[in-house]
Structure 1
Amino acid sequence: MDVHVQGGPAEPFLGARNLFSTEYDLDRPVTVRVREDPDERTRVSHDAAGHRLTISRQAATSAMARELALHEFAHMHHNERGHPSHTQSTEEAIYLALAGHSVEQRKLTHCYQIANHMKDIYADDVWMALVSGEKLVAFLEASLAAAVSDLPGGQPGWTQLTPAADPDITAVNAAFALALVERHDLVSEGHQLYDLAHAAAQDADGIDLAEFKGYFAGLSPDPDESEFRKALVDVTRAYATAGSGQAAD
Protein backbone atom coordinates (compact mmCIF):
# COMPACT_ATOMS: atom_id res chain seq x y z
CA MET A 1 0.00 0.00 0.00
CA ASP A 2 1.23 3.42 -0.99
CA VAL A 3 0.17 6.07 1.56
CA HIS A 4 1.28 9.73 1.52
CA VAL A 5 0.39 12.15 4.32
CA GLN A 6 0.33 15.91 3.75
CA GLY A 7 0.10 18.61 6.42
CA GLY A 8 -0.08 16.49 9.53
CA PRO A 9 1.23 13.52 11.55
CA ALA A 10 2.01 10.49 9.42
CA GLU A 11 2.27 7.87 12.19
CA PRO A 12 -1.43 7.04 12.67
CA PHE A 13 -1.92 6.56 8.94
CA LEU A 14 1.27 4.62 8.33
CA GLY A 15 0.57 2.49 11.39
CA ALA A 16 -2.91 1.79 10.04
CA ARG A 17 -1.40 0.96 6.65
CA ASN A 18 0.95 -1.57 8.24
CA LEU A 19 -1.94 -3.26 10.04
CA PHE A 20 -4.28 -3.16 7.07
CA SER A 21 -1.72 -4.60 4.68
CA THR A 22 -1.34 -7.75 6.80
CA GLU A 23 -4.71 -8.91 5.42
CA TYR A 24 -5.67 -6.57 2.58
CA ASP A 25 -4.18 -4.34 -0.08
CA LEU A 26 -5.11 -1.29 -2.13
CA ASP A 27 -4.20 -1.15 -5.78
CA ARG A 28 -4.27 2.65 -6.01
CA PRO A 29 -2.24 5.10 -3.88
CA VAL A 30 -3.74 6.98 -0.94
CA THR A 31 -3.16 10.67 -0.25
CA VAL A 32 -4.07 11.89 3.24
CA ARG A 33 -4.58 15.64 3.56
CA VAL A 34 -4.70 17.00 7.13
CA ARG A 35 -6.54 20.32 7.50
CA GLU A 36 -6.40 22.77 10.41
CA ASP A 37 -10.14 23.39 10.49
CA PRO A 38 -11.48 21.40 13.48
CA ASP A 39 -14.89 21.27 11.81
CA GLU A 40 -13.48 19.65 8.67
CA ARG A 41 -15.39 16.42 8.22
CA THR A 42 -13.59 13.29 7.18
CA ARG A 43 -14.08 13.01 3.43
CA VAL A 44 -12.91 10.38 0.99
CA SER A 45 -12.89 10.63 -2.80
CA HIS A 46 -11.80 8.14 -5.42
CA ASP A 47 -10.71 8.24 -9.04
CA ALA A 48 -8.52 6.22 -11.38
CA ALA A 49 -5.40 7.96 -10.05
CA GLY A 50 -5.97 7.09 -6.39
CA HIS A 51 -7.85 7.75 -3.17
CA ARG A 52 -7.89 11.00 -1.20
CA LEU A 53 -8.68 11.24 2.50
CA THR A 54 -9.25 14.75 3.89
CA ILE A 55 -9.31 14.95 7.68
CA SER A 56 -9.08 17.63 10.36
CA ARG A 57 -5.95 17.90 12.49
CA GLN A 58 -8.16 17.37 15.53
CA ALA A 59 -9.25 13.97 14.20
CA ALA A 60 -5.78 13.10 12.89
CA THR A 61 -4.25 13.60 16.34
CA SER A 62 -7.08 12.00 18.34
CA ALA A 63 -6.96 8.69 20.15
CA MET A 64 -9.12 7.24 17.37
CA ALA A 65 -6.88 8.33 14.48
CA ARG A 66 -5.49 4.88 13.66
CA GLU A 67 -8.91 3.23 13.85
CA LEU A 68 -10.43 5.98 11.73
CA ALA A 69 -7.71 5.47 9.11
CA LEU A 70 -8.36 1.72 9.09
CA HIS A 71 -12.06 2.41 8.62
CA GLU A 72 -11.39 4.69 5.65
CA PHE A 73 -8.93 2.23 4.10
CA ALA A 74 -11.71 -0.35 4.32
CA HIS A 75 -14.03 1.96 2.37
CA MET A 76 -11.30 2.31 -0.25
CA HIS A 77 -10.94 -1.46 -0.39
CA HIS A 78 -14.65 -1.90 -1.05
CA ASN A 79 -14.57 0.86 -3.65
CA GLU A 80 -11.76 -0.82 -5.59
CA ARG A 81 -13.43 -4.20 -5.50
CA GLY A 82 -16.89 -3.00 -6.43
CA HIS A 83 -18.66 -4.10 -3.25
CA PRO A 84 -22.45 -3.61 -3.70
CA SER A 85 -22.61 -1.32 -0.67
CA HIS A 86 -20.20 1.03 -2.40
CA THR A 87 -21.53 0.79 -5.96
CA GLN A 88 -25.25 1.09 -5.23
CA SER A 89 -26.55 4.59 -5.96
CA THR A 90 -28.02 6.05 -2.78
CA GLU A 91 -30.24 8.34 -4.85
CA GLU A 92 -31.67 5.37 -6.76
CA ALA A 93 -32.40 3.43 -3.57
CA ILE A 94 -34.09 6.42 -1.93
CA TYR A 95 -36.19 7.00 -5.05
CA LEU A 96 -37.30 3.37 -5.05
CA ALA A 97 -38.03 3.44 -1.32
CA LEU A 98 -39.99 6.67 -1.26
CA ALA A 99 -41.95 6.49 -4.51
CA GLY A 100 -45.54 7.41 -3.66
CA HIS A 101 -44.66 8.77 -0.22
CA SER A 102 -44.55 12.38 0.94
CA VAL A 103 -41.47 12.83 3.14
CA GLU A 104 -40.33 15.92 5.02
CA GLN A 105 -36.89 17.31 4.20
CA ARG A 106 -35.28 16.45 7.53
CA LYS A 107 -36.17 12.78 7.11
CA LEU A 108 -34.89 12.78 3.54
CA THR A 109 -31.56 14.15 4.79
CA HIS A 110 -31.46 11.47 7.48
CA CYS A 111 -32.02 8.76 4.84
CA TYR A 112 -28.64 9.64 3.33
CA GLN A 113 -27.03 9.31 6.76
CA ILE A 114 -28.64 5.89 7.21
CA ALA A 115 -27.31 4.82 3.80
CA ASN A 116 -23.84 5.82 5.00
CA HIS A 117 -24.32 3.65 8.08
CA MET A 118 -25.03 0.70 5.77
CA LYS A 119 -21.69 1.35 4.04
CA ASP A 120 -19.99 1.73 7.41
CA ILE A 121 -21.18 -1.69 8.56
CA TYR A 122 -19.39 -3.30 5.62
CA ALA A 123 -16.27 -1.17 6.06
CA ASP A 124 -16.09 -2.19 9.72
CA ASP A 125 -16.47 -5.84 8.74
CA VAL A 126 -13.12 -5.49 6.96
CA TRP A 127 -10.93 -3.99 9.66
CA MET A 128 -12.49 -4.95 13.00
CA ALA A 129 -10.57 -8.24 13.19
CA LEU A 130 -7.25 -6.38 12.91
CA VAL A 131 -7.34 -4.45 16.20
CA SER A 132 -9.12 -4.44 19.54
CA GLY A 133 -12.56 -2.82 19.48
CA GLU A 134 -12.11 -1.29 22.92
CA LYS A 135 -11.53 2.27 21.70
CA LEU A 136 -14.42 2.04 19.26
CA VAL A 137 -16.81 0.98 22.03
CA ALA A 138 -15.64 3.87 24.22
CA PHE A 139 -16.14 6.27 21.31
CA LEU A 140 -19.65 5.02 20.61
CA GLU A 141 -20.58 5.17 24.28
CA ALA A 142 -19.30 8.73 24.74
CA SER A 143 -20.92 9.95 21.53
CA LEU A 144 -24.27 8.43 22.32
CA ALA A 145 -24.17 9.72 25.90
CA ALA A 146 -23.56 13.24 24.61
CA ALA A 147 -26.42 12.93 22.12
CA VAL A 148 -28.89 11.60 24.69
CA SER A 149 -28.03 14.31 27.22
CA ASP A 150 -28.20 17.18 24.74
CA LEU A 151 -30.83 16.50 22.08
CA PRO A 152 -30.87 17.77 19.45
CA GLY A 153 -27.17 17.16 18.77
CA GLY A 154 -24.50 14.53 19.16
CA GLN A 155 -22.69 12.53 16.54
CA PRO A 156 -22.82 8.82 17.35
CA GLY A 157 -21.43 6.30 14.92
CA TRP A 158 -18.79 6.73 12.27
CA THR A 159 -20.97 8.90 10.05
CA GLN A 160 -21.03 12.44 11.39
CA LEU A 161 -24.37 14.17 11.80
CA THR A 162 -25.36 17.76 11.37
CA PRO A 163 -25.78 19.95 14.48
CA ALA A 164 -29.53 19.67 13.82
CA ALA A 165 -29.61 15.96 14.71
CA ASP A 166 -32.95 15.14 16.30
CA PRO A 167 -34.37 12.32 18.47
CA ASP A 168 -35.46 10.16 15.51
CA ILE A 169 -32.06 9.92 13.84
CA THR A 170 -30.32 9.71 17.23
CA ALA A 171 -32.38 6.61 18.01
CA VAL A 172 -31.45 5.10 14.64
CA ASN A 173 -27.80 5.90 15.33
CA ALA A 174 -28.16 4.11 18.66
CA ALA A 175 -29.54 1.09 16.81
CA PHE A 176 -26.55 1.25 14.46
CA ALA A 177 -24.13 1.35 17.40
CA LEU A 178 -25.75 -1.70 19.02
CA ALA A 179 -25.77 -3.60 15.73
CA LEU A 180 -22.10 -2.85 15.20
CA VAL A 181 -20.94 -4.00 18.63
CA GLU A 182 -23.13 -7.11 18.47
CA ARG A 183 -21.98 -7.98 14.96
CA HIS A 184 -18.40 -8.11 16.26
CA ASP A 185 -19.08 -9.35 19.81
CA LEU A 186 -17.55 -6.25 21.38
CA VAL A 187 -19.69 -5.89 24.52
CA SER A 188 -21.69 -7.96 26.97
CA GLU A 189 -25.46 -7.71 27.26
CA GLY A 190 -25.36 -5.46 30.32
CA HIS A 191 -23.05 -2.83 28.83
CA GLN A 192 -23.89 0.84 29.39
CA LEU A 193 -24.37 1.26 25.64
CA TYR A 194 -27.69 -0.61 25.92
CA ASP A 195 -29.00 1.77 28.59
CA LEU A 196 -28.02 4.76 26.48
CA ALA A 197 -29.63 3.28 23.38
CA HIS A 198 -32.89 2.66 25.20
CA ALA A 199 -32.82 6.21 26.55
CA ALA A 200 -32.40 7.49 22.99
CA ALA A 201 -35.33 5.34 21.84
CA GLN A 202 -37.58 6.77 24.57
CA ASP A 203 -37.09 10.23 23.05
CA ALA A 204 -38.20 8.99 19.61
CA ASP A 205 -41.74 7.69 19.75
CA GLY A 206 -41.86 6.63 16.10
CA ILE A 207 -38.62 4.66 16.06
CA ASP A 208 -38.51 0.96 16.98
CA LEU A 209 -34.97 0.43 18.28
CA ALA A 210 -35.05 -3.35 17.83
CA GLU A 211 -36.38 -3.04 14.29
CA PHE A 212 -33.62 -0.72 13.15
CA LYS A 213 -30.94 -2.68 14.98
CA GLY A 214 -32.18 -5.69 13.04
CA TYR A 215 -31.78 -3.89 9.72
CA PHE A 216 -28.13 -3.15 10.43
CA ALA A 217 -27.18 -6.35 12.27
CA GLY A 218 -28.91 -8.54 9.71
CA LEU A 219 -26.96 -7.31 6.71
CA SER A 220 -25.61 -10.29 4.76
CA PRO A 221 -21.80 -10.61 5.06
CA ASP A 222 -21.51 -11.10 1.30
CA PRO A 223 -24.52 -9.59 -0.49
CA ASP A 224 -25.10 -9.41 -4.21
CA GLU A 225 -26.33 -6.17 -5.79
CA SER A 226 -30.01 -7.08 -5.58
CA GLU A 227 -29.77 -8.17 -1.95
CA PHE A 228 -28.04 -5.00 -0.82
CA ARG A 229 -30.39 -2.77 -2.81
CA LYS A 230 -33.39 -4.40 -1.12
CA ALA A 231 -31.83 -3.97 2.33
CA LEU A 232 -31.16 -0.28 1.67
CA VAL A 233 -34.63 0.30 0.25
CA ASP A 234 -36.26 -1.45 3.21
CA VAL A 235 -34.47 0.53 5.92
CA THR A 236 -34.97 3.80 4.04
CA ARG A 237 -38.70 3.23 3.67
CA ALA A 238 -39.02 2.12 7.29
CA TYR A 239 -37.38 5.31 8.54
CA ALA A 240 -39.14 7.70 6.18
CA THR A 241 -42.57 6.33 7.08
CA ALA A 242 -41.93 5.73 10.80
CA GLY A 243 -44.68 7.25 12.88
CA SER A 244 -46.66 8.27 9.80
CA GLY A 245 -49.14 5.42 9.90
CA GLN A 246 -47.98 4.32 6.44
CA ALA A 247 -47.04 0.67 6.29
CA ALA A 248 -43.90 -0.32 4.41
CA ASP A 249 -44.57 -2.63 1.47
Structure 2
Amino acid sequence: METLGNMILYYGFKVLMAIVILVVGKYVAKWLSKTVETMMRKKEVDVAIQHFVSALVYYALLVFVVIAALGQVGIQTASFIAVIGAAGLAVGLALQGSLANFAAGVLILMFKPFRVGDFVEVAGVAGAVSKILVFTTELNTGDNKRVIIPNGQVMGGTITNFSANDTRRVDLIMGISYGDDIDKAKAVLQEVVSADERVLQDPAPTIAVVELADSSVNFVVRPWVNKADYWGVYFGLTEAVKKRFDQEGISIPFPQTDVHLHKVADNT
Protein backbone atom coordinates (compact mmCIF):
# COMPACT_ATOMS: atom_id res chain seq x y z
CA MET A 1 0.00 0.00 0.00
CA GLU A 2 2.86 2.35 0.78
CA THR A 3 4.44 1.60 -2.60
CA LEU A 4 1.10 2.09 -4.35
CA GLY A 5 0.61 5.37 -2.58
CA ASN A 6 4.05 6.56 -3.62
CA MET A 7 3.34 5.60 -7.23
CA ILE A 8 0.03 7.47 -7.14
CA LEU A 9 1.74 10.55 -5.75
CA TYR A 10 4.59 10.29 -8.26
CA TYR A 11 2.46 9.82 -11.36
CA GLY A 12 -0.28 12.06 -10.03
CA PHE A 13 2.24 14.87 -9.73
CA LYS A 14 3.45 14.19 -13.29
CA VAL A 15 -0.10 14.20 -14.64
CA LEU A 16 -0.81 17.40 -12.74
CA MET A 17 2.32 19.02 -14.21
CA ALA A 18 1.32 17.82 -17.69
CA ILE A 19 -2.10 19.47 -17.25
CA VAL A 20 -0.43 22.66 -16.05
CA ILE A 21 1.87 22.60 -19.10
CA LEU A 22 -1.14 22.12 -21.40
CA VAL A 23 -3.16 24.93 -19.82
CA VAL A 24 -0.30 27.42 -19.51
CA GLY A 25 1.13 26.46 -22.90
CA LYS A 26 -2.23 26.93 -24.61
CA TYR A 27 -2.57 30.35 -22.98
CA VAL A 28 0.95 31.36 -24.08
CA ALA A 29 0.29 30.09 -27.61
CA LYS A 30 -2.89 32.19 -27.83
CA TRP A 31 -1.10 35.24 -26.44
CA LEU A 32 1.80 34.93 -28.91
CA SER A 33 -0.53 34.39 -31.87
CA LYS A 34 -2.55 37.48 -30.89
CA THR A 35 0.67 39.47 -30.48
CA VAL A 36 1.81 38.46 -33.97
CA GLU A 37 -1.60 39.38 -35.40
CA THR A 38 -1.51 42.78 -33.67
CA MET A 39 1.96 43.51 -35.04
CA MET A 40 0.85 42.66 -38.57
CA ARG A 41 -2.28 44.79 -38.15
CA LYS A 42 -0.11 47.77 -37.24
CA LYS A 43 1.92 47.10 -40.39
CA GLU A 44 -1.38 47.12 -42.34
CA VAL A 45 -0.80 43.57 -43.56
CA ASP A 46 -3.66 41.98 -45.49
CA VAL A 47 -6.35 40.55 -43.17
CA ALA A 48 -6.12 37.09 -44.74
CA ILE A 49 -2.39 37.00 -44.02
CA GLN A 50 -3.01 38.13 -40.44
CA HIS A 51 -5.41 35.25 -39.74
CA PHE A 52 -3.29 32.67 -41.56
CA VAL A 53 0.00 33.51 -39.84
CA SER A 54 -1.71 33.88 -36.46
CA ALA A 55 -3.29 30.42 -36.76
CA LEU A 56 0.00 28.95 -38.00
CA VAL A 57 1.87 30.29 -34.95
CA TYR A 58 -0.85 29.08 -32.57
CA TYR A 59 -1.00 25.49 -33.84
CA ALA A 60 2.79 25.19 -34.19
CA LEU A 61 3.22 26.23 -30.56
CA LEU A 62 0.37 23.96 -29.51
CA VAL A 63 2.14 20.95 -31.05
CA PHE A 64 5.24 21.68 -28.98
CA VAL A 65 3.11 22.11 -25.84
CA VAL A 66 1.45 18.70 -26.35
CA ILE A 67 4.84 17.06 -26.91
CA ALA A 68 6.17 18.67 -23.72
CA ALA A 69 3.12 17.45 -21.77
CA LEU A 70 3.52 13.90 -23.09
CA GLY A 71 7.17 13.94 -22.13
CA GLN A 72 6.23 15.05 -18.62
CA VAL A 73 4.12 11.93 -18.02
CA GLY A 74 6.95 9.67 -19.20
CA ILE A 75 5.96 9.01 -22.82
CA GLN A 76 8.92 8.92 -25.19
CA THR A 77 8.49 11.85 -27.56
CA ALA A 78 11.59 11.36 -29.69
CA SER A 79 9.63 9.31 -32.21
CA PHE A 80 6.88 11.97 -32.37
CA ILE A 81 9.45 14.69 -33.04
CA ALA A 82 11.12 12.56 -35.72
CA VAL A 83 7.79 11.91 -37.46
CA ILE A 84 6.80 15.58 -37.32
CA GLY A 85 10.23 16.61 -38.63
CA ALA A 86 10.08 14.11 -41.49
CA ALA A 87 6.54 15.16 -42.39
CA GLY A 88 7.54 18.82 -42.31
CA LEU A 89 10.54 18.13 -44.55
CA ALA A 90 8.43 16.17 -47.03
CA VAL A 91 5.77 18.87 -47.17
CA GLY A 92 8.43 21.57 -47.51
CA LEU A 93 10.10 19.79 -50.44
CA ALA A 94 6.77 19.13 -52.13
CA LEU A 95 5.64 22.73 -51.76
CA GLN A 96 9.01 24.40 -52.20
CA GLY A 97 7.90 26.75 -54.98
CA SER A 98 4.57 27.52 -53.34
CA LEU A 99 6.20 28.24 -49.98
CA ALA A 100 8.69 30.58 -51.64
CA ASN A 101 5.82 32.43 -53.33
CA PHE A 102 3.92 32.57 -50.04
CA ALA A 103 6.94 33.98 -48.19
CA ALA A 104 7.44 36.56 -50.94
CA GLY A 105 3.74 37.48 -50.76
CA VAL A 106 4.02 38.06 -47.02
CA LEU A 107 7.06 40.31 -47.59
CA ILE A 108 5.19 42.30 -50.24
CA LEU A 109 2.20 42.83 -47.96
CA MET A 110 4.41 43.76 -45.00
CA PHE A 111 6.96 46.08 -46.63
CA LYS A 112 4.70 47.38 -49.44
CA PRO A 113 7.15 48.08 -52.29
CA PHE A 114 4.00 48.83 -54.27
CA ARG A 115 0.26 49.05 -53.67
CA VAL A 116 -2.88 48.27 -55.63
CA GLY A 117 -3.23 50.89 -58.37
CA ASP A 118 0.50 51.63 -58.72
CA PHE A 119 2.07 51.36 -62.15
CA VAL A 120 5.10 49.11 -61.83
CA GLU A 121 7.56 47.03 -63.80
CA VAL A 122 8.29 43.63 -62.24
CA ALA A 123 9.66 40.40 -63.71
CA GLY A 124 9.94 42.11 -67.09
CA VAL A 125 6.25 43.10 -67.18
CA ALA A 126 4.92 46.67 -66.88
CA GLY A 127 1.37 47.37 -65.76
CA ALA A 128 -0.98 48.66 -63.08
CA VAL A 129 -1.28 46.48 -59.97
CA SER A 130 -4.82 45.13 -59.73
CA LYS A 131 -4.41 42.52 -56.95
CA ILE A 132 -1.76 41.48 -54.43
CA LEU A 133 -2.51 37.93 -53.32
CA VAL A 134 -0.68 35.50 -51.06
CA PHE A 135 0.97 33.58 -53.89
CA THR A 136 0.68 35.88 -56.92
CA THR A 137 0.50 39.51 -58.01
CA GLU A 138 -1.84 40.53 -60.83
CA LEU A 139 -1.09 43.37 -63.27
CA ASN A 140 -3.18 45.03 -65.98
CA THR A 141 -0.94 46.05 -68.89
CA GLY A 142 -1.39 49.17 -70.99
CA ASP A 143 -3.28 47.18 -73.65
CA ASN A 144 -5.57 45.73 -70.94
CA LYS A 145 -4.07 42.26 -70.61
CA ARG A 146 -4.17 40.55 -67.21
CA VAL A 147 -0.74 39.20 -66.24
CA ILE A 148 -0.39 36.95 -63.17
CA ILE A 149 3.14 36.79 -61.75
CA PRO A 150 4.30 34.46 -58.93
CA ASN A 151 5.41 36.50 -55.94
CA GLY A 152 8.74 34.70 -55.86
CA GLN A 153 9.60 36.24 -59.24
CA VAL A 154 8.34 39.64 -58.11
CA MET A 155 10.60 39.78 -55.05
CA GLY A 156 13.46 37.97 -56.78
CA GLY A 157 14.12 40.79 -59.27
CA THR A 158 14.19 44.55 -59.59
CA ILE A 159 10.94 46.38 -58.82
CA THR A 160 10.39 49.71 -60.61
CA ASN A 161 7.50 51.69 -59.15
CA PHE A 162 6.50 54.57 -61.42
CA SER A 163 3.79 55.74 -59.02
CA ALA A 164 5.79 55.92 -55.79
CA ASN A 165 6.74 59.60 -56.16
CA ASP A 166 4.40 62.49 -56.85
CA THR A 167 6.40 63.89 -59.77
CA ARG A 168 8.23 62.47 -62.78
CA ARG A 169 10.64 63.84 -65.36
CA VAL A 170 9.79 63.68 -69.04
CA ASP A 171 12.86 62.95 -71.19
CA LEU A 172 12.68 64.09 -74.84
CA ILE A 173 15.36 64.29 -77.51
CA MET A 174 14.79 66.92 -80.24
CA GLY A 175 17.14 67.21 -83.19
CA ILE A 176 17.77 70.11 -85.59
CA SER A 177 19.98 70.28 -88.65
CA TYR A 178 23.50 71.70 -88.51
CA GLY A 179 22.40 74.63 -90.67
CA ASP A 180 19.76 75.85 -88.19
CA ASP A 181 20.32 78.50 -85.52
CA ILE A 182 20.95 76.75 -82.18
CA ASP A 183 19.99 79.77 -80.07
CA LYS A 184 16.73 80.20 -81.94
CA ALA A 185 15.86 76.52 -81.60
CA LYS A 186 16.61 76.61 -77.89
CA ALA A 187 14.40 79.69 -77.42
CA VAL A 188 11.56 78.00 -79.32
CA LEU A 189 11.84 74.89 -77.15
CA GLN A 190 11.72 77.00 -74.00
CA GLU A 191 8.61 78.80 -75.24
CA VAL A 192 6.85 75.54 -76.10
CA VAL A 193 7.64 73.99 -72.72
CA SER A 194 6.65 77.14 -70.80
CA ALA A 195 3.32 77.31 -72.65
CA ASP A 196 2.24 73.93 -71.28
CA GLU A 197 0.53 74.58 -67.92
CA ARG A 198 1.10 71.00 -66.80
CA VAL A 199 4.87 71.52 -66.67
CA LEU A 200 6.13 72.31 -63.15
CA GLN A 201 8.32 75.34 -62.52
CA ASP A 202 10.16 73.69 -59.63
CA PRO A 203 12.31 71.88 -60.51
CA ALA A 204 12.92 74.02 -63.57
CA PRO A 205 12.89 72.30 -66.99
CA THR A 206 16.26 71.47 -68.52
CA ILE A 207 16.84 72.35 -72.18
CA ALA A 208 20.38 71.94 -73.50
CA VAL A 209 22.45 70.63 -76.39
CA VAL A 210 23.28 67.04 -75.52
CA GLU A 211 24.89 65.62 -78.65
CA LEU A 212 26.43 66.52 -82.00
CA ALA A 213 25.15 63.51 -83.87
CA ASP A 214 25.94 62.31 -87.38
CA SER A 215 23.21 64.33 -89.08
CA SER A 216 21.69 66.50 -86.34
CA VAL A 217 22.31 68.67 -83.31
CA ASN A 218 20.31 67.04 -80.53
CA PHE A 219 18.66 68.91 -77.67
CA VAL A 220 17.59 67.25 -74.44
CA VAL A 221 14.22 68.53 -73.15
CA ARG A 222 13.49 67.50 -69.56
CA PRO A 223 10.44 69.08 -67.91
CA TRP A 224 9.05 67.87 -64.55
CA VAL A 225 5.35 67.03 -64.26
CA ASN A 226 2.89 65.44 -61.86
CA LYS A 227 2.87 61.69 -62.35
CA ALA A 228 -0.69 61.73 -63.68
CA ASP A 229 0.34 64.14 -66.47
CA TYR A 230 3.40 62.22 -67.66
CA TRP A 231 2.11 60.70 -70.88
CA GLY A 232 -0.07 63.68 -71.72
CA VAL A 233 2.92 66.02 -71.56
CA TYR A 234 5.17 63.53 -73.36
CA PHE A 235 2.84 63.23 -76.34
CA GLY A 236 1.72 66.87 -76.24
CA LEU A 237 5.21 68.37 -76.24
CA THR A 238 6.38 66.08 -79.04
CA GLU A 239 3.55 67.26 -81.28
CA ALA A 240 3.83 70.92 -80.23
CA VAL A 241 7.58 71.07 -80.91
CA LYS A 242 7.15 69.59 -84.40
CA LYS A 243 4.43 72.11 -85.30
CA ARG A 244 6.40 75.05 -83.88
CA PHE A 245 9.60 74.02 -85.66
CA ASP A 246 7.65 73.93 -88.92
CA GLN A 247 6.34 77.45 -88.27
CA GLU A 248 9.81 78.78 -87.46
CA GLY A 249 11.47 77.10 -90.44
CA ILE A 250 13.59 74.84 -88.23
CA SER A 251 14.19 71.49 -89.86
CA ILE A 252 14.22 68.13 -88.13
CA PRO A 253 16.71 65.85 -89.92
CA PHE A 254 15.70 62.36 -90.93
CA PRO A 255 17.75 59.52 -92.40
CA GLN A 256 18.24 59.80 -96.15
CA THR A 257 20.52 58.34 -98.79
CA ASP A 258 22.10 60.26 -101.67
CA VAL A 259 22.61 58.19 -104.81
CA HIS A 260 25.20 59.46 -107.32
CA LEU A 261 25.12 58.09 -110.85
CA HIS A 262 28.31 58.16 -112.95
CA LYS A 263 28.24 57.67 -116.68
CA VAL A 264 30.78 55.14 -117.80
CA ALA A 265 32.10 55.51 -121.34
CA ASP A 266 31.45 52.57 -123.62
CA ASN A 267 34.76 51.74 -125.40
CA THR A 268 33.34 48.81 -127.37
Q: Same fold (TM over 0.5)?
A: no
| TM-score using structure 2 length | 0.19
Question: Between Structure 1 and Structure 2, whose CA radius of gyration is higher?
Answer: 2
| TM-score using structure 1 length | 0.20
